[in-house]
């Protein structure tokens, strides 16, 4: 597969410049796309109220934060060290929120749809291919740390159960 080519990077950076002009709007569209594709996903987020409605301030804050993270990755395509470190931390952190490996496909599809809708005619097969490569890279970095985090949480839970049995 290889990494991102110079052409990929140019396509990603140039299209992101348009998207980042409205991080809030595109971030909200991203989450709308996630929740349209999988309404049950709302339960994974702290901004979902008990009645299933969304706290708009919490949603907006999270949506903008996600888009800023994408922007950080796009802005560092030639210096991936800090991006890898940040994505690894995010991968592990998301284990605590019951995120599972299959959720990457859901979010990736929602991101691509958000970009396609936002870019219109600028969303060419070449641009899409570049963004798909970037998302595959994100998943390749985050997924192992997510799985590691899930395993650690299961081990911690197992220890708690064992300790509770000993305490009885």
- In this predicted structure, what is the pLDDT of residue 2? 59
For 85-99, write each residue's pLDDT tens digit.
999 999 999 999 999
In whole numbers, what is the pLDDT of the chain averaged over residues? 94
Q: What is the pTM of this model?
A: 0.90
Structure tokens at 134: 């970037």
CA distance 81 to 136: 17
User: Which of 137, 20, 31 is CA-nearest to residue 68?
Assistant: 20
For 56, half-sphere exposure in the C-beta direction (CA atoms, 13 angstrom radius) is 2
Please list, in sequence order, all residues whose beta carbon lies within 8 angstroms of the beta carbon of residue 33, skipping any fewer than 6 positions away: 109, 110, 111, 113, 114
Q: Please work out, in degrees rounded to the nearest 5, the angle formed at the alpha carbon of residue 138 by the alpha carbons of 110 and 100.
A: 65
- In this predicted structure, what is the pLDDT of residue 1? 46
- pLDDT under 70 in the chain at which residues? 1-2
Backbone angles phi, psi at 99, to 5 degrees: -70, 140
- In this predicted structure, what is the pLDDT of residue 163? 87
């Amino acid at each position: 597969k290889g990494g991102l080519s110079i052409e990929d990077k140019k396509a990603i950076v140039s299209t992101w410049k348009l998207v980042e002009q409205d991080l809030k709007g595109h971030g909200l569209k991203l989450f709308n796309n996630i929740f349209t594709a999988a309404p049950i996903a709302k339960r994974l987020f702290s901004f979902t109220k008990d009645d299933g409605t969304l706290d708009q301030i919490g949603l907006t804050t999270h949506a903008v934060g996600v888009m800023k993270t994408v922007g950080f990755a796009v802005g560092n395509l030639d210096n991936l060290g800090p991006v890898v470190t940040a994505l690894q931390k995010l991968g592990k952190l998301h284990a605590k929120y019951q995120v599972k490996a299959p959720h990457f496909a859901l979010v990736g599809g929602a991101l691509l749809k958000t970009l396609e809708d936002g870019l219109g005619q600028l969303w060419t097969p070449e641009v899409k291919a570049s963004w798909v490569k970037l998302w595959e890279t994100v998943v390749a970095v985050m997924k192992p740390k997510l799985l590691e985090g899930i395993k650690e949480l299961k081990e911690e839970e197992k220890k708690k159960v064992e300790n509770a049995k000993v305490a009885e």
